[in-house]
Amino acid sequence: MISEVTMPSMGADMTEGMIAKWLMAEGDAVSRGDKLAEIETDKTVVEMEAYSEGLLRKIVVSEGILVEVGTVIAFIGDADDEVPEVAETAPAAEASKEETAPQPATAQPALTPTPVQQTAPTSAPTPVASAAAGGRVKASPIARKIAEEKGIDIAAVSGTGPGGRITKSDVEKFTPSPAFAASGGRAPAVMDGSDTPLSSMRQAIARVTVKSKTKSPHYYVTHEVNMRPAMTFRAQLNEAIADDGDRVSVNDMVLKAITTALLRYPKWNSTFDGDKLIGHSDINLGVAIALEEGLIVPAVIGIQNMSLIEISRAVRDVGKRARGEGGSLTQAEMTQGTFGSSNLGMFGTDTFAAIIVPPNAGIIAVGTVKEVPVIENGQIVPGKTMNATISADHRVGDGAEAAILMGEFQKTLENPARLML
């Protein structure tokens, strides 16, 4: 029986998608679960699985063409099935005219699905790249363990073992390069004036950020949070839970505080839609993660139901899977975020503003927790502060409303017992 393969919806707000790459050719035998194609959306590149069996009889939509969700892109059937005549699918709407003229496949850079794969930096020193294109990072178990303990992204390490395997000594000798620390901004090794083809992920980031900055009117509200109570609280908490193998980070507390604020002011957990705000019943809090190839913002789904420690575990899990360890990110995590967060504290950043991830209404960006002199009761005393900046969509709410949300966020962190509510 002949069956249609249609452009899947990878998220509630996905209206169109592009075949980044067909992974099977016409005539190939297809089983359920086989990876048929890589689908590129605004946010990511996802592998599409086959839901029927047979032969891939015909590819209707070729690589690089943007089509609407639900469009027939291929047919799967038996060898003697008749393939229905389908009009050559026209590239969808204006988007494709503006941005994605169909290109011959050969002109495309090699695409990698984002969630599960990373490649070693191209500026790596001599040895073999640890991950062949399309493969997972090859690292020994002990190397992975040490990297995790030291907080090193294993994909950034070059492997000198057989077959390019990252070994214990590679991790021990590794020092993060400034290029990596800048994350995403991998400068070419040599400034020779040559062009650098952008990965599909880089191109997607370009499209999404331009769309966000041109369609969502951003404004910014910064609050300085007194972090001394939170840091004391965190130290006590971590001591108490150390035996369970848990450890709460500053960012875990930030996420909890954002969640608390959003629960109080749920307007910010909605999506602007012309004449209405679409409310969301869950808070799916996006967490910006800097991967080797670029930024992704997977969401912690249903974070409003989680305790601080559960958030800590969930974020660690999402982070691992974002790096291809222990599985990959789910479609929901990749596409169903309802609000955003970004943290550059580990880089020493003091204050910054992030770009809203569409179709969210806002994103809160936090910098490092720094020691500063503060005035308490007329006395100068050592204190700890952290700056947090919301980038808010003016269509959703005005400055005063964003300030109230930030005030709630600040209040929670400054009274950290509230984090346990």
Partner 1 sequence: MPEITLRDALKRAIKEALESDPSVFMMGEDIGEYGGAYAVTDGLLKKFGPDRIKDTPISEQAFVGAGIGAAVAGLRPIVEFMSISFSLVAFDQIVNMAANLRYMSGGQISVPMVIRAPTGAGVQLGATHSQSFETWLAEVPGMKVVCPSNPYDALGLMRSAIKDNNPVFVAEPALLYGEKGEIPDDDYEIEIGKADVTREGSDITLVSYGYGMRPTNEAADKLTERGVSVEVIDLRSLSPFDIDSIVSSVQKTNRVVLIDNARRNGGVMAEVAADLQQCASEWLDGPVMRVGSVDVPWPYSRSLEQEVLMDADDVLVAVAEGYGL
Q: Quick one: 77 or 161, whose CB is closer to partner 1?
A: 161
The verdict on 162 binding partner 1 (CB under 8 A) reads yes
- Tokens, residue 207: 């499209």
Q: Could you tell me how many residues of this chain bind partner 1 (CB under 8 A)?
A: 12
The rounded distance, in Å, linking the Cα atoms of 7 and 298 is 22
The rounded distance, in Å, linking the Cα atoms of 353 and 368 is 13
Q: Quick one: 86 or 128, whose CB is closer to partner 1?
A: 128
* Amino acid occupying residue 301: I
Query: Using an 8 Å Cβ cutoff, are 318 and 287 in contact?
Result: yes
The verdict on 129 binding partner 1 (CB under 8 A) reads no
Minimum distance, C-beta of residue 141 to partner 1, in the bound complex (Å): 5
* Among 15-23, 70-78, 106-114, 135-143, the segment contacting partner 1 (CB under 8 A): 135-143
In terms of Cα–Cα distance, which of 228, 237, 251 is closest to 346? 251
Q: Quick one: 50 or 143, whose CB is closer to partner 1?
A: 143
Query: Using an 8 Å Cβ cutoff, are 366 and 388 in contact?
Result: yes
* Among 5-13, 134-142, 194-202, 339-347, the segment contacting partner 1 (CB under 8 A): 134-142
The rounded distance, in Å, linking the Cα atoms of 167 and 161 is 6
Minimum distance, C-beta of residue 162 to partner 1, in the bound complex (Å): 5
Q: Quick one: 325 or 333, whose CB is closer to partner 1?
A: 325
Minimum distance, C-beta of residue 143 to partner 1, in the bound complex (Å): 7
Reduced to 3 states (helix: H, G, I; strand: E, B; else coil), residue 340 is strand
- Which of 140, 226, 249, 385 is close enough to bind partner 1 by CB under 8 A? 140
Q: Quick one: 160 or 222, whose CB is closer to partner 1?
A: 160
Minimum distance, C-beta of residue 180 to partner 1, in the bound complex (Å): 23
Minimum distance, C-beta of residue 127 to partner 1, in the bound complex (Å): 11
- Which of 6, 62, 160, 238 is close enough to bind partner 1 by CB under 8 A? 160
Report cis status (omega within 30 of 0) of the bond before 229.
no
Q: Quick one: 143 or 227, whose CB is closer to partner 1?
A: 143
* Amino acid occupying residue 20: A
* Among 39-47, 163-171, 314-322, 380-388, the segment contacting partner 1 (CB under 8 A): 163-171
Residues forming beta bridges with residue 220, ordered by sequence position:
391
Q: Quick one: 116 or 128, whose CB is closer to partner 1?
A: 128
Residues annotated catalytic, as ranges: 394, 398
Minimum distance, C-beta of residue 144 to partner 1, in the bound complex (Å): 8
- Which of 143, 152, 314, 344 is close enough to bind partner 1 by CB under 8 A? 143
* Among 68-76, 160-168, 362-370, 397-405, the segment contacting partner 1 (CB under 8 A): 160-168
The edge-to-edge listing of strands for the beta sheet with 66-68 is: 45-49, 35-40, 16-22, 66-68
Residues forming beta bridges with residue 45, ordered by sequence position:
40
- Which of 44, 96, 167, 284 is close enough to bind partner 1 by CB under 8 A? 167
The verdict on 165 binding partner 1 (CB under 8 A) reads yes
Cα three-residue angle 394-360-329, rounded to 5 degrees = 165
The rounded distance, in Å, linking the Cα atoms of 158 and 155 is 8
The rounded distance, in Å, linking the Cα atoms of 54 and 69 is 23
How many C-beta neighbours within 10 Å does residue 19 have? Answer: 25
- Which of 49, 124, 168, 246 is close enough to bind partner 1 by CB under 8 A? 168
Burial environment of residue 21 by CB neighbours within 10 A (0 to 12, 13 to 18, 19 or more): buried
Minimum distance, C-beta of residue 243 to partner 1, in the bound complex (Å): 20
The verdict on 145 binding partner 1 (CB under 8 A) reads yes
The whole-angstrom distance between residue 372's C-alpha and the CA centroid of its chain comes to 32
Cα three-residue angle 119-125-130, rounded to 5 degrees = 30
The verdict on 137 binding partner 1 (CB under 8 A) reads no
Reduced to 3 states (helix: H, G, I; strand: E, B; else coil), residue 316 is helix
Q: Quick one: 103 or 169, whose CB is closer to partner 1?
A: 169
The rounded distance, in Å, linking the Cα atoms of 90 and 60 is 11
User: Interface with partner 1 by CB under 8 A: which residues?
Assistant: 140-145, 160-162, 165, 167-168
